Amino acid sequence: MSYTEIEAVVLTTLANIIKNKVDSSGADVVIQQLDSLKHVEFIFAVEDEMGVQFSQEELVDMDSVDKIVTRVMARHEA
Amino acid sequence: MTLRRYELQEILFSDRPLRRELLEVDLSGKTEKVVTVNVWRNHAFENLKPLIEPYCLFGNWQAIFNIGPYDDSFMFSDWRQADIELLWLDSSRFSLGADWQDWLHDRLGALRAISGAPIILATWADARELDKITVNYPAIYYADLKRVCDEAQVDLLDFRTSKFAGTPVSNHAQLIVARELACHWLPAVVFPPVKAIAIDLDNTLHDGVLGEDGADGVNLSSGHNNLQIYMKSLSRNGIFIALISRNEHIDVEALFTQRKDYPLRWEDFSETEISWGDKSSAIERLAGSLRISTDSILFVDDNIGELVDVAMRLPQVKTVYAHHDADLTRQVIHFFPGIWQWSVKADDAKRVQDMKMNAVREAIGVNASSPIEYFRSLQVALTYFYDSEKQLCRIADLCNKTNQFNLAIRRFNEVELAECLINNDKCVASVQLTDRLSDSGVIAVIVAERRKEQVIVEELCISCRALGRQLESTILLIALRGMCIFEGCHDVVFKVQHGARNQPALKWLADLQGDCDLPSPGLYTVPIQRLLNFQAAEGIDLVKG
């Protein structure tokens, strides 16, 4: 999957979690404002959608779309 | 809403549901029931709530969770009344051993003392040890998270995410556990069970149309084979399986004779409704012949039109869409609230066999010259038990499941009944019915209390499987007379409540008094002499258990 395709999945998943529309320009702020439970829900949903599992170290700073997409790509390449 | 429910079956009941898809489910609308659940926990439960919700809505109910603070000591502070108590316990936070078991036993006892609601202990640890702990109190159930995750081939724990999630329960395990909670564990303690499945034939129990493809042309796929095996297992657990099909009767019967590869045999169906008439009328006839109410029937069909028609005409009937993938249909039935039970009691399993024998009993009745000859030829026996702790679970079941012959509609739960057993002023009578054709099990219950010169009957009920045999008065009045609290009393006072379908019980009480009108809600006093004068039906063996 390309960066853009993964980004689209991440944004759709985020919109689903917050039950509102979200675009790439405002997504990072939304992610950083999620409470801890919603954040976990979001990361779990991304893991489900992309068929990956992030490491404990990675989970600490999953605070932007770019970091998430990059890590998903790395997992897929591996 | 009905059509949307059918569309969602694929998402909700796939082997591996997806979190995003569950969170997207929109099933707004008024639900039939609302259930409150106190959640006592030492790890996060909040993540499960949005996953549980779509399953509850699918089952036409709503759960309101009162989630307590994180508390490893489980003190149950600020307890308030609820329908269910859920202990959501992370056992990895304790060093497990005898001390822990004693502590847990103590905590369950403390909760039992303040709450009469069913308690579900949801955790993971040695199942045998926890089973031992939970049997010491009434209405406590062990929900084994590890077992359901093992069955779903999903890892229960994921310590990688536990710090962030507030629970070691893994992402995938949360999805599986949420479904178990919403479809099995919670409904099984508060909702009446499904008593019959009325299932279509063509494109439901096999692939193809009998009238077009012929008996040899219809295909038993692996999924349909599994579905038939599953239906057979439900029948063994006491759920009636009824065939409801638009076909020629002779063709369908020939199909089951001819197709030796079908796991379901013709005799596995408790009833068959094969005609070209509408299916809602067929379901009403099924309910009548099985002596159950239509709200305890689950109707399964691949034709959306038939399903919608039944849902419109008989909204109380539960409906499931049969998919082309019969394994998915099996999953939907398996997870339908009211199908799964915490345990299958011997008396439940007897139901199907017992009902089959009714046709034989009716034939004997027609040929018998008198009721005495009828009872003698059947070797009818009634066994009376008093304050039987062993039957507590079955007695609670009867109080909660009976709809036609119950006088006060007082739904005693196991905890309340257990209190009656140890109270000298109260008595719980239970009656078992057997004849030479079958053992019907415990079919009647009376809960009564002595107050000065009166015996107050708080509730009496007879299972529908024992109705229509002219045994009601012998069952109830002999049971009342045998109670230790009966001695020396002057009157028996029956508590009366009107329900949607309890006219048979009301009529019985009116007949006992010689009244033409049904008794009004309230208290209904019967002089003791009337009970003492009663003669049990002749030809019946009356036994003290």
Yes or no, beta carbons of B47 and A37 under 8 Å apart: yes
What confidence score (pLDDT) does residue B29 get?
72
Question: What percentage of residues in chain A have a pLDDT greater than 90?
Answer: 65
| Closest CA–CA distance from residue A56 to any residue of chain B (Å) | 5
Q: How confident is the model at residue B350 (pLDDT cuts 50, 70, 90)?
A: confident
Question: What percentage of residues in chain B have a pLDDT greater than 90?
Answer: 77
Interface confidence, given as ipTM, is 0.87
Pick among A9, A12, A40 to test the B interface (most B CBs inside 10 A): A40
What confidence score (pLDDT) does residue A37 get?
86
**pLDDT value at B1 more than 80:** no
| Closest CA–CA distance from residue A49 to any residue of chain B (Å) | 8
What confidence score (pLDDT) does residue B327 get?
97
List residues bridging with B460 in a β-sheet: B446
**pLDDT value at B395 more than 90:** yes
- CB proximity B421 to A under 8 Å: no
Contacts A18 to B, Cβ<8 Å: none
Rounded-to-5 percentages of helix, strand, coil across chain A: 70, 0, 30
> What distance in Å separates the CA atoms of residue B173 and residue B168, rounded to the nearest whole number?
10
What confidence score (pLDDT) does residue B469 get?
84
Listed residue (B522, B440, B442, B513) closest to B428, CA to CA: B442
| Mean pLDDT of all residues in B267-273 | 95
Give the amino acid at B327. Answer: D
What confidence score (pLDDT) does residue B267 get?
93
- CB proximity A59 to B under 8 Å: yes
What does the pLDDT look like over B443-490, one tens digit per residue?
Answer: 999 999 999 999 999 999 999 888 888 899 999 999 999 999 999 999
Range of lowest pLDDT (B299-303, B324-328, B361-365, B493-497): B361-365
| Helix residue ranges per DSSP H, B335-470 | 346-356, 358-367, 371-378, 392-401, 414-422
Pick among A41, A42, A43 to test the B interface (most B CBs inside 10 A): A41
What confidence score (pLDDT) does residue B465 get?
85
CB B217 within 8 A of CB B208: yes
Contacts B22 to A, Cβ<8 Å: none
Contacts A36 to B, Cβ<8 Å: 164, 166
**pLDDT value at A35 more than 80:** yes
Yes or no, beta carbons of A59 and B164 under 8 Å apart: yes
| Mean pLDDT of all residues in B270-289 | 95
What confidence score (pLDDT) does residue B256 get?
97
What confidence score (pLDDT) does residue B32 get?
82
What confidence score (pLDDT) does residue B435 get?
93
What does the pLDDT look like over B62-87, one tens digit per residue?
Answer: 999 999 999 999 999 999 999 999 99
Pick among B15, B16, B18, B19 to test the A interface (most A CBs inside 10 A): B19
- CB proximity A52 to B under 8 Å: no
Nearest to B161 among A40, A45, A49 (CB): A40
Q: How confident is the model at residue A30 (pLDDT cuts 50, 70, 90)?
A: very high
Pick among A19, A37, A63 to test the B interface (most B CBs inside 10 A): A37
| Mean pLDDT of all residues in B509-517 | 89
B 48-67: CB under 8 A from A: 50
Average pLDDT, chain B: 93
What confidence score (pLDDT) does residue B390 get?
92
| Mean pLDDT of all residues in B415-429 | 95
> What distance in Å separates the CA atoms of residue B444 and residue B398, rounded to the nearest whole number?
7
Contacts A13 to B, Cβ<8 Å: 20
The top-scoring range by mean pLDDT among B125-129, B167-171, B372-376 is B167-171
What confidence score (pLDDT) does residue B101 get?
87
Yes or no, beta carbons of A56 and B18 under 8 Å apart: no
Q: How confident is the model at residue B355 (pLDDT cuts 50, 70, 90)?
A: confident
Contacts B171 to A, Cβ<8 Å: 44, 47-48
- CB proximity A28 to B under 8 Å: no
| Mean pLDDT of all residues in A32-53 | 91
Closest chain A residue by Cα to residue B19: A45
Burial class, B254, CB count within 10 angstroms (exposed 0-12 / middle 13-18 / buried 19+): middle
Contacts A12 to B, Cβ<8 Å: 20
- CB proximity B47 to A under 8 Å: yes
Contacts B163 to A, Cβ<8 Å: 56
Question: What percentage of residues in chain B have a pLDDT greater than 70?
Answer: 100
> What distance in Å separates the CA atoms of residue B175 and residue B88, rounded to the nearest whole number?
15
Measured N-to-C along each axis, helices B171-180 and A36-50 cross at an angle, to the nearest 10 degrees, of: 100
Tell me how many residue pairs between chain A and chain B have CB atoms under 8 A apart.
51
Closest chain A residue by Cα to residue B44: A37
CB B508 within 8 A of CB B423: no
What does the pLDDT look like over B11-66, one tens digit per residue?
Answer: 999 988 999 899 888 877 778 899 999 999 999 999 999 999 999 999 999 999 99
| Mean pLDDT of all residues in B376-399 | 93
Nearest to A16 among B23, B47, B171 (CB): B23
Question: What percentage of residues in chain A have a pLDDT greater than 70?
Answer: 100
What does the pLDDT look like over B220-232, one tens digit per residue?
Answer: 999 999 999 999 9
What confidence score (pLDDT) does residue B491 get?
93
What confidence score (pLDDT) does residue B24 get?
87
Contacts B46 to A, Cβ<8 Å: 37
**Residue whose structure tokens are 């995750």:** B149
pTM score, two decimals?
0.88
Burial class, B27, CB count within 10 angstroms (exposed 0-12 / middle 13-18 / buried 19+): middle
